[in-house]
Amino acid sequence: MQDTTITERDQRVIQHLQDSWKSLKEISPEALGDVSQFVTGLPNPYREAALNTIAQHVVSVMSLHMLSLMTTFQNTAEQDEISPEDCEEIFEQVLPDTFCILNKLNKHISVESFEDLVALSHITGSLQTLSKATSAEVAEGWMYELPSMYYRQVKREHLVAKDFDL
């Protein structure tokens, strides 16, 4: 990537973010189940909005997973004998498509039922499990494949409100 040197200021801000994130509570599967039970009782326009809020959360989980793969790639590239120039070139290739797909999915994800939400969660969880990586070489492969694979599977389940070109 461009310049991987982190300024002192950026380092302090990142440390502050880490400290701030400690106070953020991830929603547990049990709490998400409670939220889902609550959502069943909402009138329809609110129910649909709530289901799509949960769906956006699931897509965000996959987006963070993809960023984690990129981090693994960058942090282990030297060990896998991938030059900084090659890293830069790889990121130039994968970043535009990855962020285009993820941003569009987040905007156009559409679930209309709990069954749709189950399908989206299953796709996301399965692909996360499948795409775990601890080496740059494995992470690189997933960086190229995972965004479009995720989109195709979500689209196949009719969970995208608007088709878009990849």
The dihedrals phi and psi of 92, each to the nearest 5 degrees, come to -60, -30
Domain range for 68 is: 28-156
Q: What is the pLDDT along the chain (166 residues), one digit of tens a residue?
A: 555 678 999 889 989 888 888 887 788 889 989 999 999 999 999 999 999 999 999 999 999 999 999 999 999 999 999 999 999 999 999 999 999 999 999 899 999 999 999 999 999 999 999 999 999 999 999 999 999 999 999 999 999 987 665 5
Note whether residue 165 is domain-resident: no
Predicted pLDDT of residue 88: 94
Instruction: Count how many domains the chain has.
Output: 1
Note whether residue 6 is domain-resident: no
Predicted pLDDT of residue 28: 87
Give the whole-angstrom CA distance, residue 156 versus residue 134: 29
Predicted pLDDT of residue 59: 95
Give the whole-angstrom CA distance, residue 73 versus residue 138: 8
* Cα distances (Å, whole numbers) of residue 15 to 10, 20, 21, 135: 9, 9, 10, 25
Q: For 50-97, what is the HEC assignment?
A: HHHHHHHHHHHHHHHHHHHHHHHHHHHCCCCCCCHHHHHHHHHHHHHH
Predicted pLDDT of residue 24: 77
Note whether residue 161 is domain-resident: no
Note whether residue 4 is domain-resident: no
Predicted pLDDT of residue 163: 64
Predicted pLDDT of residue 162: 72
Predicted pLDDT of residue 91: 96
